[in-house]
Amino acid sequence: MKKLRCALIGATGLAGQQFVSALMNHPWFELTGLAASPRSAGKQYLDALRNSSGMVSWFLTEPLPPHIAQMTVQAGDALDVSAYDVIFSAVEADVAKVLEPKYAQTTPVISAASAFRYEPDVPLLIPPVNPEHLELLRTQQQARGWKGFIAPMPNCTTTGLAVTLAPLQAAFGVKAVVMTSLQAVSGAGRSPGVIGLDIIDNVVPYIAKEEGKVEVETRKILGAPGAPHAMKVSCTCTRVAVLEGHTEAAWVSLERSASVEEVQRALREWKGHPWTEGLPSAPPRWIELHEDPFRPQPRLDRDVHGGMATSVGRVREDDVLENGVKYVLVSHNTRMGAARGAVLAAELLKTRGFLAAT
Amino acid sequence: MKKLRCALIGATGLAGQQFVSALMNHPWFELTGLAASPRSAGKQYLDALRNSSGMVSWFLTEPLPPHIAQMTVQAGDALDVSAYDVIFSAVEADVAKVLEPKYAQTTPVISAASAFRYEPDVPLLIPPVNPEHLELLRTQQQARGWKGFIAPMPNCTTTGLAVTLAPLQAAFGVKAVVMTSLQAVSGAGRSPGVIGLDIIDNVVPYIAKEEGKVEVETRKILGAPGAPHAMKVSCTCTRVAVLEGHTEAAWVSLERSASVEEVQRALREWKGHPWTEGLPSAPPRWIELHEDPFRPQPRLDRDVHGGMATSVGRVREDDVLENGVKYVLVSHNTRMGAARGAVLAAELLKTRGFLAAT
Amino acid sequence: MKKLRCALIGATGLAGQQFVSALMNHPWFELTGLAASPRSAGKQYLDALRNSSGMVSWFLTEPLPPHIAQMTVQAGDALDVSAYDVIFSAVEADVAKVLEPKYAQTTPVISAASAFRYEPDVPLLIPPVNPEHLELLRTQQQARGWKGFIAPMPNCTTTGLAVTLAPLQAAFGVKAVVMTSLQAVSGAGRSPGVIGLDIIDNVVPYIAKEEGKVEVETRKILGAPGAPHAMKVSCTCTRVAVLEGHTEAAWVSLERSASVEEVQRALREWKGHPWTEGLPSAPPRWIELHEDPFRPQPRLDRDVHGGMATSVGRVREDDVLENGVKYVLVSHNTRMGAARGAVLAAELLKTRGFLAAT
Amino acid sequence: MKKLRCALIGATGLAGQQFVSALMNHPWFELTGLAASPRSAGKQYLDALRNSSGMVSWFLTEPLPPHIAQMTVQAGDALDVSAYDVIFSAVEADVAKVLEPKYAQTTPVISAASAFRYEPDVPLLIPPVNPEHLELLRTQQQARGWKGFIAPMPNCTTTGLAVTLAPLQAAFGVKAVVMTSLQAVSGAGRSPGVIGLDIIDNVVPYIAKEEGKVEVETRKILGAPGAPHAMKVSCTCTRVAVLEGHTEAAWVSLERSASVEEVQRALREWKGHPWTEGLPSAPPRWIELHEDPFRPQPRLDRDVHGGMATSVGRVREDDVLENGVKYVLVSHNTRMGAARGAVLAAELLKTRGFLAAT
ipTM: 0.95
Asked whether the bond before D123 is cis by omega within 30 degrees of 0, the reply is no
Checking if the pLDDT of D145 tops 90, the result is: yes
Size of interface A-C (CB pairs under 8 A): 28
pLDDT band per the 50, 70, 90 thresholds, residue D341: very high
D52 touches chain A (CB under 8 A): yes
In terms of Cβ atoms closer than 10 Å to its own Cβ (0-12, 13-18, 19+), residue B43 is middle
pLDDT band per the 50, 70, 90 thresholds, residue D313: very high
**Beta-bridge partners for A144:** none
Catalytic residue IDs of B: 156, 246
What confidence score (pLDDT) does residue D140 get? 98
The rounded Cα D188 to chain-centroid distance in angstroms is 14
Phi, psi (5° rounding) for residue B354? -95, -15
List the C86-89 sheet strands across, edge first.
C73-75, C29-36, C4-9, C86-89, C108-111, C149-152
Query: Which chains would you list as touching C if contact means 3+ CB atom pairs under 8 Å?
Result: A, B, D
User: Which member of A6, A133, A237, A246 is catalytic?
Assistant: A246
Task: Report d(CA D240, CA D246) in Å as an integer.
Answer: 9
pTM: 0.96
In terms of Cβ atoms closer than 10 Å to its own Cβ (0-12, 13-18, 19+), residue B256 is exposed
In terms of Cβ atoms closer than 10 Å to its own Cβ (0-12, 13-18, 19+), residue A97 is middle
**Domain boundaries of chain B, sorted by first residue:** 4-153+339-351, 156-331
What confidence score (pLDDT) does residue C200 get? 97
For the stretch B122-146, pLDDT in tens is 999 999 999 999 999 999 999 999 9
The rounded Cα C119 to chain-centroid distance in angstroms is 18
Nearest residue on chain C to B195, alpha-carbon basis: C195
A182 touches chain B (CB under 8 A): yes
Task: Report d(CA C95, CA C136) in Å as an integer.
Answer: 23
Taking an 8 Å cut-off on Cβ atoms, the answer to whether D55 and B294 are in contact is yes
Mean pLDDT, range D208-237, rounded to an integer: 97
Helix axes C14-23, C339-351, angle to 10 degrees: 50
C284 touches chain A (CB under 8 A): no
CA angle B124, B128, B129 (to 5 degrees): 55
Nearest-CB residue to A208 (from D54, D192, D204): D54
Nearest-CB residue to D201 (from B54, B201, B293): B201
What confidence score (pLDDT) does residue A252 get? 98
B284 touches chain D (CB under 8 A): no
Taking an 8 Å cut-off on Cβ atoms, the answer to whether D320 and C178 are in contact is yes
DSSP letter (8 states) at residue C50: B
In order of B39, B53, B160, C34, the CA distances from B193 in angstroms are 19, 16, 21, 27
In chain C, the N- to C-terminal Cα span, in Å, equals 12
C196 touches chain B (CB under 8 A): yes
Task: Report d(CA D123, CA A185) in Å as an integer.
Answer: 42
pLDDT band per the 50, 70, 90 thresholds, residue D59: confident
* HEC-encoded secondary structure of chain B: CCCEEEEEECCCCHHHHHHHHHHCCCCCEEEEEEEECCCCCCCEHHHHCECCCCCECCCCCCCCCHHHHCCEEEEHHHCCHHHCCEEEECCCHHHHHHHHHHHHCCCEEEECCCCCCCCCCCCCCCCCCCHHHHHHHHHHHHHHCCCCEEEECCCHHHHHHHHHHHHHHHHCCEEEEEEEEEECHHHHCCCCCCEHHHHCCCCECCCCCHHHHHHHHHHHHHCECCECCCCEEEEEEEECCCCCCEEEEEEEEECCCCCHHHHHHHHHHCCCCHHHCCCCCCCCCCEEECCCCCCCCHHHHCCHHHHCCEEEEEEEEECCCCCEEEEEEEECCCCCCCHHHHHHHHHHHHHCCCCCCC
Q: What are the residue ranges in chain B where pLDDT is below 70?
A: none
What confidence score (pLDDT) does residue B56 get? 83
Task: Report d(CA C118, CA A95) in Å as an integer.
Answer: 64
Taking an 8 Å cut-off on Cβ atoms, the answer to whether A200 and D198 are in contact is no
Taking an 8 Å cut-off on Cβ atoms, the answer to whether A206 and D59 are in contact is no
What confidence score (pLDDT) does residue D358 get? 80
What confidence score (pLDDT) does residue B357 get? 87
For the stretch A179-223, pLDDT in tens is 999 999 998 887 778 999 999 999 999 999 999 999 999 999 999
Task: Report d(CA A284, CA A278) in Å as an integer.
Answer: 10
In contact, B326 and B293? CB cutoff 8 Å: no
Checking if the pLDDT of D104 tops 80, the result is: yes
Phi, psi (5° rounding) for residue A237? -110, 125
Task: Give the minimum alpha-carbon distance from C290 to chain D in angstroms, rounded to a whole number.
Answer: 12
Nearest-CB residue to B178 (from A178, A241, A298): A178
CATH classification of A156-331 is 3.30.465.10, yes or no? no
Architecture of domain D4-153+339-351: 3-Layer(aba) Sandwich (3.40)
DSSP letter (8 states) at residue C256: S
Taking an 8 Å cut-off on Cβ atoms, the answer to whether A61 and C292 are in contact is no
Buried b (16+ CB within 10 A) or exposed e, D229-261: bebbbbbbbbbbbbbbbbbbbbbbbbeeebeee
Task: Report d(CA C208, CA C189) in Å as an integer.
Answer: 14
C117: nearest Cα among C166, C159, C170, C153? C153
Q: Which residues contact B212 (CB under 8 A, 6 or more apart)?
A: none
B202 touches chain A (CB under 8 A): yes
Q: Does residue C237 have an active-site annotation? A: no
C186 touches chain D (CB under 8 A): no
Taking an 8 Å cut-off on Cβ atoms, the answer to whether C242 and D320 are in contact is no
Nearest residue on chain D to C209, alpha-carbon basis: D293
Task: Give the minimum alpha-carbon distance from D228 to chain B in angstroms, rounded to a whole number.
Answer: 38
In contact, B136 and B116? CB cutoff 8 Å: no
Buried b (16+ CB within 10 A) or exposed e, D110-146: bbbbbbbbeeebbbbbbbbbbbebbebbebbbeeeeb
What confidence score (pLDDT) does residue D110 get? 98
What confidence score (pLDDT) does residue D276 get? 98
Nearest-CB residue to C56 (from A53, A294, A304): A294
Nearest-CB residue to A314 (from B206, B233, B234): B206
pLDDT in single tens digits along all 358 residues of chain A: 799 999 999 999 888 999 999 999 999 999 999 999 999 999 999 999 987 777 787 888 788 999 999 999 999 999 999 999 999 999 999 999 999 999 999 999 999 999 999 999 999 999 999 999 999 999 999 999 999 999 999 999 999 999 999 999 999 999 999 999 999 999 888 777 899 999 999 999 999 999 999 999 999 999 999 899 999 999 999 999 999 999 999 999 999 999 999 999 999 999 999 999 999 999 999 999 999 999 999 999 999 999 999 999 999 999 999 999 999 999 999 999 999 999 999 999 999 999 998 8
Nearest-CB residue to C318 (from D202, D234, D326): D234
Phi, psi (5° rounding) for residue B154? -70, 165
User: Which member of A6, A133, A156, A235 is catalytic?
Assistant: A156
A47 touches chain C (CB under 8 A): no
B57 touches chain C (CB under 8 A): yes
| Torsion on CA atoms A221, A226, A230, A233, rounded to nearest 10 | 40
Task: Report d(CA B179, CA D344) in Å as an integer.
Answer: 48
Q: What are the residue ranges in chain C where pLDDT is below 50?
A: none
Query: Which chains would you list as touching B if contact means 3+ CB atom pairs under 8 Å?
Result: A, C, D
